[in-house]
Amino acid sequence: MGAQEPAFLMRSTVNLEQTGSPRHEHLSTGLYTLMDVVCSGCHSPMGWQYLQASHEVSNQAGRQ
Decide: 37 and 17 in contact? Cβ < 8 Å. yes
Instruction: Pick the closest to residue 50 from 12, 15, 14, 4 (CA basis).
Output: 12
Query: What is the rounded distance in angstroms from the CA atom of residue 33 to the CA atom of residue 53?
Result: 6
- What pTM did the predictor assign? 0.69
pLDDT at 61 over 80: no
Q: What is the pLDDT of residues 24-49, one digit of tens each?
A: 999 888 899 999 999 999 999 999 99
pLDDT digits (tens, 9 = 90+) for 48-59: 998 998 865 545
- Sign of the four-CA dihedral 3, 9, 12, 53: positive
Q: Where are the domains of the chain?
A: 16-53
DSSP 3: T
Torsion sign, CA atoms 33, 52, 6, 18: positive
